[in-house]
Amino acid sequence: MGTWQNEDRSGKIEIYQSGDQYFGKLLWGKYMLDERGVPRKDTLNPNIALRSRAWPNIVMLTGFRYQNGQWEDGKIYDPTSGKSYTAVMKLKNGRLALRGYIGIELLGKTIYWDRVK
């Protein structure tokens, strides 16, 4: 739990617990505003009903459960592409290793986030 900065320093995500699940919402992002200074909308979301929501506070991480020393069975949503991936998270040397994948975890990609607070 806490606030984490993504790998390329373009966003800050707050990870929090609700019940027995963990979630993460976008607090700040380098690309949250369009060229007019207006918050970007989630226009690429496959769910048409969500396309009008603004990027600030979008819940990007959903449904993670802590088990076996890691957070499993979650999803990560990328508002820049409108795609969602199955994901697992674990702490490695004080960094959050977040692995997103489609199908099998072995073929996924791991990114690392650093704790801000």
Tokens linked to 12 = 């800050």
Q: The whole model's pTM is what?
A: 0.89
Indicate left, alpha or beta for 61 from its phi (over 0: left) and psi (-120 to 50: alpha).
Answer: beta
Q: What is the pLDDT along the chain (117 residues), one digit of tens a residue?
A: 899 999 899 999 999 999 999 999 999 988 899 899 999 999 999 999 999 999 988 999 999 999 989 999 999 999 989 999 999 999 999 999 999 999 878 788 999 999 997
CATH assignment of 2-115?
A: 2.40.128.520
Where exactly are the structural domains of the chain? 2-115
